[in-house]
Structure 1
Amino acid sequence: MEVEPRLSLDELKRLERGEKDAGQAKRLRTVILAMEGWTAPPIAMAVGLSRRVCQQWVYRFNAQGLAGLDDQRGRRPTSPLTSEQEAEIRRRLDAGPTAEDGVCSLRGVDVRRLLKQEFGV
């Protein structure tokens, strides 16, 4: 596999040694082995990934540099509430149930009802 010379081999090895995230270290190792001339099947066996995944990491490194090796699975969860609304609902939950709630403790269904009534969410 061809690797764009974005960083030197020594720099990549230094980054791999200092990396605390095992997944990121594995992705760095994949690029290092590709730079050393290994092909995808031996790299896959060495790092414990599929051949295709190894190729994808090298392609992403070639396109984006180190940023391409970041784990980008899934989306970050976003709240439908603003920070002010979140603070308000927290205060409401900390205060406990009111007489209008008709319950002695707030459960998940009660919280969902409150969110719908007060914020339309």
Structure 2
Amino acid sequence: MKIVVAGGRSKADFLIGSLLEKKHEVTVINDEEAYCRYLSEKYNIPVVVGNPCKRYVLEEAEIDHADILIALRPGDPDNLAICQTAKKNIPCGTGSGNRFQSQKCFCLQKARCKYGHIRNVYDCKDY
């Protein structure tokens, strides 16, 4: 699957590694240029520097070709804005909080909503 990860730092880093182990195609959007450079060098993946709340940044990450978008900004309002901006036919997930193990996400597809652990978002059967 083609998965876009928007925002996040350690959560994003861990999730990207897990997704790549499962042979998913991952693109990252982050507004911190130095962190983007780090992720690009570590994983050799496409990285877009910019605010994922902006449609033109999502378009640069080819969001319309993604199977899933995972928004990992620190605040839920940002994550909701990212998902609302990106959501056409793309399932979106959000996560925030202090402990990764307690992270939750919303896996959205069409009118249905599924709630699960973010580390298992790529295992959602609806995709």
| TM-score (structure 1 length as normaliser) | 0.31
| TM-score (structure 2 length as normaliser) | 0.30
Q: Which has the higher strand share?
A: 2
Q: Which has the higher helix share?
A: 1
